[in-house]
Chains A and B, each alone.
Chain A
Amino acid sequence: MTDPENIIIVKDLVKSFGSFTANDHLTFSVRRGEIFGFLGANGAGKTTTIKILCGLSYPTSGELSVAGFDIYTQREKVKRNIGYMSQRFSLYDDLTVFENIRFYGGIYGLSRKEIDARSKSLMERLGFENSRNKLIRDIPLGWKQKLAFSVAILHNPKIVFLDEPTGGVDPITRRQFWDMIYEAAHRGITVFVTTHYMDEAEYCDRVSIMVDGRIAAMDTPDNLKLQFGAPSMNDVFIKLARG
């Protein structure tokens, strides 16, 4: 299922937990290099989809290809080509900034040299030079999130999945965070991001809006606003979510 244009292809994805269907016949694709916003209310099934695409959870049925690899048979190859930043904070509190970078770099198989070089440039970019040996538990949440994102793309994946990366972060840090997302996209990394903040939806190249396990709408933010006759993504979302 290699496709020159689409990096993620999902056909008829179903995921059910007992009688509850979290993902009800989803079909969509994500283009190479775009920032794809995956929106939906709480409990709409976004995290379920992300976990399946990352290989953390088995789909009930459907065809899925991520980074050109089949999610059923080439799981480890998929994992080599993706980065993931979960809703829950994913760095080790009792390790320093550098130790976290070294650990994740190490298990992705980067060499010692690469780890040193990348962590150096990463800390320069984030302005963390003086915090290299600080424990994660001692740095502010906004910094942690920026660091977690940088660690998620440390191994230069083709796609990065961000599950509500800006939850609980102040507006200024959120803005900086989105600058980092743009920068990653500029380097050719496809970004798959879920969010609750509708202003963030405006920053995406394309968005899909999930309601009750189904995709209710999918297009560019401008087209969606036009289609629903709404002045902002916020209004589009409210119209859809209310049904």
Chain B
Amino acid sequence: MENPIRNIAYDALVIGAGIAGGETALNLANTGYKVLLVDRELSVGGKMIMLSKVFPTLDCAACITTPKVSEISRHPNITIFTGSEVSKIRKVSDNEFVALVTKQPRYVHIEDCTACQLCEKACPVNVRDQYQFGLIGRKAAFIPFSICSPKAAAIDIDNCTLCGACEKVCPTNCIDFTMEVETMELHVKTIVVATGFNLFNAEKMPRYGFGKYKNVITAQQMERELAPTRPFNTILRPGDGKVPDKIAYVLCVGSRDASIGNPVCSQICCMYSIKQAQLLMGSLPMADVTIYYINIRSFGKGFEEFYQQAKGMGVNFVKGKIGRISEKENGNLILRYEDINEGKLQEAEHDMVILSTGVLPNTGIDKLFENQKLQLDQFSFIGQSDMLASPAKTSIEGVFVAGTATGPMDIPDSILSAGSASSEAISYLIQHP
């Protein structure tokens, strides 16, 4: 089958459909510009759509994200490519970039899928669900998660046995294994990079035992355990299904640590850990929650009050640096730490440990530009050429940046940054019609 290459023109290309990319696309679309929103995941919404609640208000994250995602998905000026990646960008004139986009086959015609989940029920395969961070299984024919957008099934072709059971039960015949990779050449006038961040891989710090000790999990995994669409019926240890009652948080895992190459403060891990600690105390009222920290950085509006509220609820804060975690036979964990206030080495036993992993740059975006140089900052986040006056400007005229692609920040700051990027892009489009 021939690989189709289409020539399509848009006013703006937004790379990354998280909260910053989505907000940027909406602002541009509402001003009347045609926007192409590209994301490599199967759903728009980025990392925010997977959260349980947001800090410091404890508002439901899905209740904030879902209407926004729905607005993005239904906007007549926004075209969304999920499961797609930009592979090359070339600037051909002041108001024209040519971008090569590769769209992976979903093997489902989104417009025909009713999300009835009959294919999911019929599929015999079970693999680890990446949207629940491996805590539970999913089928090879699957709806990524309950509030995903587009709400449509997808086929995990790497794990599919091609039995055809999904096709047989599909009432709309929307499953199509003849789909192939599509490569599209797009002509756009401006580009906004909103590629977000990566979280530190805790396996790179073996002394914490992540991956080896099953009751050491990441805060992202705990976020799923706390969400309404959680993997288990309640909060459980993934090691043996015990309801935990002595839980520890270890802050600054893979951040503020030059020895592992990331000296940057993640800005969000103190507050998301405090948020989770409060939610845990709501879910498990009898549990003891301890947060091991170096410094609590409660710098934003309402953050210090949120921290004090956690203390008032009974969350135990220990100023201590964890040296090593070891496991007992019953799955409990021994934390050996330096008590910074006392200047002593101490040990404490917990039955579950949550690692609050740091924020890392999403690298590789600068390699996409063929005839221009996208400058990065010293930490490999996208460089802001005029940080104070025009924070969305990059080293390439006509290319702007939004959200955590520029560095760690929380959700309100990401949305603010998206506002700045869309304003700059609109201004550029007016000046370069």
User: Is the pairing of A and B real?
Assistant: no
A residues adjacent to B (C-beta < 8 A)? none
